[in-house]
Structure 1
Amino acid sequence: MRPTFPDSPRAAVFSQGGASNAKRTVAEGVQRWMEVQCAKKATSTSRNYQYKANHVVDKFGKRRIADINKSDLELFQAQLLKKGLSPKTVNDVFTVVRGVWGDAYADGVLRANPLDRIKNIERDSDEDSADPFTREELEALSKIKSARQQDINMILFDCWAGLSLSELIALGWDDVDLEGGTVMIRRARVETEYKIPKEKSRARRVELIDPAIAYLRAQFEITGAQPAVPITVVQRDNNSTKRENVRFVFRNGQSGEPWHASSVGRWFAGHLKSVGVRHRGPNQCRHTFASQALSSYVPVEWVARQLGHTDTTMVKKHYGRWIPGDTKSLAGLVSQMMGFRTTTELTA
């Protein structure tokens, strides 16, 4: 059942009854804002907001919104950082704060919104940067006992396909066209829910390059004939659902059950350690595909479409770094394109 904020333990601190707008407390404001978010947002998103809202209620709960000034909020922001919260987490907490104070301003509780003059915490530019695997590391990752072969098929397929982890573990054989060399992204698994992509651009046809097709063909020999699993898929409105029977491409090689993202992470961490590759999360497979493609001069527009982005902005921001050990000589390629070298000379 979808969690709602009034059912949480924090609801006990809310004022009882119909206080006037002028007397609206922070706790009441959070309750109003959370009720809207729980109705509109995905379960995973609203649950995340609830965790962040706890910080706000713990700090200001019974105080009136109108009595809290800009310096109070800036001090709160600084205190969260001092507690050890990351800049990203503090900014997420202030997503709740901005929502509550924005509602209060729109409802006439405030004559001015102090959040208009409070900026988010600046984050280290490297915090979300890609940390892809090199070709040498991919070779090391392929070393695995035969009992977990389907798990390594999944990882290496994604290094050459670029799906997000949530898309990868929700992929079904009915979404795959091996002859045409494509897969359709129709759903994702976020925490315990299957859902269709929230952005229409993420529901897409992905063109597969040769190594990705090879790993899919190998995987078909393992799971291609396995029976479908009935699942419930949350639709884009985050309220309605649809029943589907999915023959999952990738299943947990140990249990045979459909993957959960956290289970992939645990297995992958152990596998990286066993083959002597520096630890990274499984979503680095997606980064690896993008970085390898860009380092080979594949058009940025094509990479963006493959990843489900509407334009090239995110690709340039997160995946634009070329992998030094893998990058070819650009001058040599330009020389070939301009007719000064033959293909043989370029590869010699």
Structure 2
Amino acid sequence: MTVAGYVGKYFVKKENKELYFYTLTLGKDANGKRIQIKKRGFKSEREAKKALREAQVQADKGSYCEPSKLTYGEFLMEWFRGKSSNYGTQTAKSTESYIRLHIKPQLGQYPLAKLNIITIERFVNGLRDKGLAEGTIKRIFNVVTASLNSAERKDIIPRNVASRIDNKPKAKRKDMQIWNADEVRHFLHTVRKEEVRYYEAFHLALATGMRQGEILGLRWRDVDLERGVISVRQTLSHDGKELRAGAKTTTSIRTISLDADTTQMLEKWKRRQQLEKYDAGGMYINHDLVICTTVGTPTTPRNLSRTWYSMLKKSELHPITFHDLRHTHASLLLKNNVHPKIVSERLGHASIQITLDLYSHLFPNMQEEAAHALGEQLFRT
């Protein structure tokens, strides 16, 4: 099908500015009337021409859908299919459930071009009326915002109305709980003294900043004891039922250098694990896991948590979560003047900005320490 189109401009008196539009002609209907698609609101002629070219390509392929007829539900599912391959398994699952249980039933039937601020505000209020936690509402709202951002970038809608609502969900960020170096040493000493299983998991979390699923999915083939390096290549699912290749995100697949004490700890643990394998005989199921049960099977997060909270109580330290060991690792590195870029790489963050945002509370003290150190070096005689 050959389609024709043109770009023009018009003046918005109320805003005292010129905007651009395009008109796309798709031929004639059964009555001989021209079938035309018009779209307005472009800020520049170049922007309008680009959108027109994309619409022409879609029309030639037979995949063009008039924006006024495309429902938000249809666009949302197409957006999710394209996006889900970039998500970790758990993120993909939770996003799919947000769409299926909350977003699509309430907003899916609306024409994408007709979604407005009031509709989105009512949607957010409806989630609150259901009694959902503000953090959950924020995650659901983030899916809506991300999908509409995509629609705006593709020039399907002139602007993302979700970004302009007055009642945006604001989940309170919990204060980050971390330990200092003395508390870390005390905790590890307590666990060693009790001789319980999973000391190695706690040690790894503090020494590497790895996530729980990454530690429980770690294989010996991904540990180079000679070089003192770990490669994060596999994770254990949250329910402990599935070992998954890859990691949470693309940047989570990474290499982490180990200190000498951690390397020695792993060498010792590997020898002990060989004895367990011998004792278990035919019952041993070899998944090549660093952290596993006495018969080689994956350690469930629930069992690890049980030991964690037991040792936490024994240590009599102020309580933190297992995930806070990751924050403790990062905080100790930053306080020891390790560059945030290196910390970001060890944690597998998508960007250094994530690291800076998470640990910004540390930087005022670090600024003072840096100024003091420089003063000592330059001006004290």
The TM-score, its normalising length taken from structure 1, stands at 0.68
CA deviations on 1:276-298 (whole Å, 9 max, x unpaired) are 33433212121111112222333
Identity of aligned residues (%): 21
Which residue of structure 1 aligns with residue 89 of structure 2?
Answer: 43
Kindly state the Cα deviation for residue 76 of structure 1 after the two structures are TM-superposed.
1.7
Shift in CA distance, 114/196, structure 1 to aligned 2, threshold 3 Å? same
How many Å separate the matches in 1 of 2:156 and 2:229? 54
Is 2:219–2:288's contact at 8 Å kept on the other side of the alignment? Answer: yes
Kindly state the Cα deviation for residue 268 of structure 1 after the two structures are TM-superposed.
1.9
How many Å separate the matches in 1 of 2:363 and 2:190? 22
The TM-score, its normalising length taken from structure 2, stands at 0.63
Q: Could you say which structure has the larger radius of gyration?
A: 2
How many Å separate the matches in 2 of 1:164 and 1:309? 12
Is 2:152–2:159's contact at 8 Å kept on the other side of the alignment? Answer: yes
Shift in CA distance, 147/222, structure 1 to aligned 2, threshold 3 Å? farther
How many Å separate the matches in 2 of 1:99 and 1:340? 54
Q: Which runs of 5+ in 1 are unaligned?
A: 1-18, 228-244, 342-348
Shift in CA distance, 213/339, structure 1 to aligned 2, threshold 3 Å? farther
Shift in CA distance, 174/287, structure 1 to aligned 2, threshold 3 Å? same
Kindly state the Cα deviation for residue 71 of structure 1 after the two structures are TM-superposed.
0.7
User: 2:180 aligned with 1:134, yes or no?
Assistant: yes
Counterpart amino acid of residue 135 in structure 1: A
Which residue of structure 2 aligns with residue 79 of structure 1?
Answer: 126
How many Å separate the matches in 2 of 1:179 and 1:224? 18
Matches within 5 A, 1:108-257: 113-118=160-165, 120-124=168-172, 126-127=173-174, 130-138=176-184, 139-144=186-191, 149-191=196-238, 192-197=242-247, 199-223=249-273, 247-252=288-293, 256-257=296-297
Is 1:158–1:168's contact at 8 Å kept on the other side of the alignment? Answer: yes
Counterpart amino acid of residue 356 in structure 2: K
Counterpart amino acid of residue 91 in structure 1: K
Is 2:68–2:114's contact at 8 Å kept on the other side of the alignment? Answer: no
Kindly state the Cα deviation for residue 194 of structure 1 after the two structures are TM-superposed.
1.1
Counterpart amino acid of residue 169 in structure 2: I
Aligned residues: 303
How many Å separate the matches in 1 of 2:327 and 2:90? 23
Runs of 4+ off more than 6 Å: 103-109, 328-332
How many Å separate the matches in 1 of 2:125 and 2:181? 43
User: 2:314 aligned with 1:264, yes or no?
Assistant: no
Shift in CA distance, 51/121, structure 1 to aligned 2, threshold 3 Å? same
Is 1:69–1:114's contact at 8 Å kept on the other side of the alignment? Answer: yes
Counterpart amino acid of residue 336 in structure 2: S
User: 2:106 aligned with 1:56, yes or no?
Assistant: no
CA deviations on 1:117-152 (whole Å, 9 max, x unpaired) are 34853444x43x532223343313532487864401
User: Alignment RMSD, CA only?
Assistant: 4.2
Which residue of structure 2 aligns with residue 294 of structure 1?
Answer: 334
How many Å separate the matches in 2 of 1:219 and 1:194? 24
Which residue of structure 2 aligns with residue 315 of structure 1?
Answer: 355
Kindly state the Cα deviation for residue 95 of structure 1 after the two structures are TM-superposed.
3.4
Is 1:265–1:281's contact at 8 Å kept on the other side of the alignment? Answer: no
Shift in CA distance, 258/30, structure 1 to aligned 2, threshold 3 Å? same
How many Å separate the matches in 1 of 2:375 and 2:158? 64
Which residue of structure 2 aligns with residue 93 of structure 1?
Answer: 140
User: 2:355 aligned with 1:305, yes or no?
Assistant: no
User: 2:321 aligned with 1:281, yes or no?
Assistant: yes
Q: Secondary structure at the match of 1:160?
A: helix
Greater fraction of residues in strand = 2
Shift in CA distance, 211/293, structure 1 to aligned 2, threshold 3 Å? farther
Counterpart amino acid of residue 291 in structure 2: F
Is 1:70–1:114's contact at 8 Å kept on the other side of the alignment? Answer: yes
Q: Secondary structure at the match of 1:221?
A: helix
Counterpart amino acid of residue 178 in structure 2: P
Q: Secondary structure at the match of 2:94?
A: helix
Q: Secondary structure at the match of 1:206?
A: strand
Kindly state the Cα deviation for residue 334 of structure 1 after the two structures are TM-superposed.
5.2
Q: Which runs of 5+ in 2 are unaligned?
A: 1-64, 278-285
Q: Secondary structure at the match of 2:333?
A: helix
Q: Secondary structure at the match of 1:132?
A: coil
Is 1:26–1:62's contact at 8 Å kept on the other side of the alignment? Answer: yes
